[in-house]
Chain A
Amino acid sequence: MLTSDNAFSTALALILSMDSALISIVMLSLQVSLMAVVIASLLALPLGAALALWRFPGRNAVIIVLNALMGLPPVVAGLCVYLLLSRAGPLGSWGLLFTPTAMVIAQVILVLPIIAALTRQQIETLHGEYAEQLQSLGLTRPRMIPTLLWDARFGLLTVILAGFGRASAEVGAVMIVGGNIDGVTRVMTTSIVLETSKGNLPMALGLGIILLILVTMINAIAHMIGETAKKRLG
């Protein structure tokens, strides 16, 4: 197996070469996915918490739709953003199609339901425990949200990581709205698709291995931050 076209040796060679094209692909992948997760978190954490605290007609329907959207196929999300941003689409004048911004938008749509739905669950449980005490302190529901989000932070870190996993792994959405343009919108997953279709399997696998290593490293860092904080605060 240890021939020169072996996937592992290719991956190793790729990493060691510090190829500038590869580095820009890796950086763009991380940039797009991290940006999407940050934006989605800023929207979805308060949204999920609000959904946990308020009772309104149609709430169950909203929860079901949100849960269902966790399984939204990336190509469908990509297609919707494509239709919105294409020249003939409602937002066509913005000229965003085939830019990293379009890729971020598509990934936000993919990640937001995951973070919102899981946040709703966590906050609902925590609120069950805290409700009377916070009410006794005179907090209104909007004022409870920051407290609950902060106290659920360890669980929510995992929720955000799940969102990041979704963003970094998907290829359908970024392929459609990004277009896999070399040097502009090419990311790890779209390169893997391209190399596979070219028949360059060791290269495709090598890129896959690098992607896995990166995702593992980010998860390891987040895990260590969570564990140290947990040990300190119980």
Chain B
Amino acid sequence: MNASQPPPVATLAFDGAAFTHRGHTLLKPTTLRLSGCQRTLIMGPNGAGKSLLMRLAHGLLPPTSGAVGWQGTAPTQAMVFQRPVLLRRSALDNLTYVLAINKTLRPALNRTAGHSISRKAQAMQALDKFGLAHLAQRPARVLSGGEQQRLALARAWLLNPQVLFLDEPTSALDPAAIKAVEDAVLEFHRRGTRIVMSTHDLHQARRLADDVVFLHNGHLLEHTLAKQFFSAPASREASAFIRGELVW
């Protein structure tokens, strides 16, 4: 662990939060507390409401009933999407863009040495960290899937978030690229970033999870420590899911 401990991250609270779209309740009323600085994995089959839960947590969508909010000061956040959304610019420009945005939106929080190191140099450092330095001038959208996701991670890295949301970031990647993303997630966590990540990959969850939130058909069925979830799941759906049976 690093000597300079980051300040504790505020607790994310779902209070009876539900989401209904065109008469379909996609997330049933949910109460959940995410606190501490651990790695939480949101699990469940496709259509369980994982992505929706992440979007509500990140504030991209408001719940249609109930409340989602931070107890205390809202932390700085970033999100990495299943399909990375990259600007139609070079890899390097994708990174200098967020530095420019971040500087004007959150000047007080810009604790990185923005004055001594230019944006371009910061962006190059991030590219280098994620093994993309040789692709700096390449248009972001012609990069491979794995490279694009690493660029999205580099972008999040520059934002230096206290909480990082990742929505099935590896679902379209090959094993080598998955390894790179998982290493990056651990690296974020080492730097003191709280991780909230969704996946339907059991092995990945076993590798990364401190605690697990299990969703099924818009129901939050479990929120337990990873060890307990994998050894003794409480719900019938979760145990079937862990055994690899079809639960939907």
Q: A-side interface residues toward B, CB under 8 Å?
A: 129-130, 132-133, 135-139, 143, 147, 151, 154, 232-234
Contacts and interface: CB of A to CB of B under 8 A. Distances in A.
Contact of B87 (A132, A138, A147, A232): A147
A154 B140 CA distance: 16
Contacts of B70: none
Contacts, number: 46
A103 to B, nearest CB: 36
B90 interface: yes
Given A147-B87, A151-B89, A233-B90, A138 B60 contact: no
Closest 5 A/B residue pairs (Cβ): A234-B139, A133-B85, A234-B142, A136-B79, A233-B139
A147 B88 CA distance: 10
Given A136-B77, A234-B138, A234-B139, 4 more contacts: A132-B79, A133-B79, A137-B159, A151-B88
Q: Determine the main DSSP class of B at the interface with A.
A: mixed
Contact of B101 (A130, A135, A137, A233): A137
A143 B58 CA distance: 20
Contacts of A232: 139
Indicate the size class of the contact surface on chain B.
20 to 34
A129 B86 CA distance: 10
A76 B170 CA distance: 58
Contact of A234 (B85, B98, B141): B141
Given A135-B60, A139-B101, A233-B90, A129 B85 contact: yes
B203 interface: no
Contacts of B98: 137
Interface of B: 55, 58, 60, 77-79, 81, 85, 87-90, 97-98, 101-102, 105-106, 138-142, 159
Given A130-B85, A234-B139, A234-B141, A136 B60 contact: yes
B58 A136 contact: yes
B85 A132 contact: yes
B211 to A, nearest CB: 23
Given A136-B78, A233-B139, A234-B141, A151 B101 contact: no
B87 A151 contact: yes
Nearest to A126: B88
A132 B51 CA distance: 12
A132 B81 CA distance: 9
A85 B233 CA distance: 80
Contacts of A147: 87, 97
A152 B138 CA distance: 18
Contacts of A151: 87-89
A232 B58 CA distance: 34
Contact of B89 (A133, A138, A154, A233): A233
Most chain B beta-carbon contacts within 10 A, residue among A129, A132, A232, A233: A233
Most chain B beta-carbon contacts within 10 A, residue among A129, A135, A143: A135
A138 B98 CA distance: 10
B90 A138 contact: no
12 contacts: A129-B85, A132-B55, A132-B60, A133-B85, A137-B98, A137-B101, A137-B102, A137-B105, A139-B101, A147-B97, A233-B90, A234-B140
A234 B93 CA distance: 13
A138 B101 contact: yes
Nearest to A154: B88
A137 B95 CA distance: 12
A132 B87 CA distance: 13
Contacts of A133: 79, 81, 85
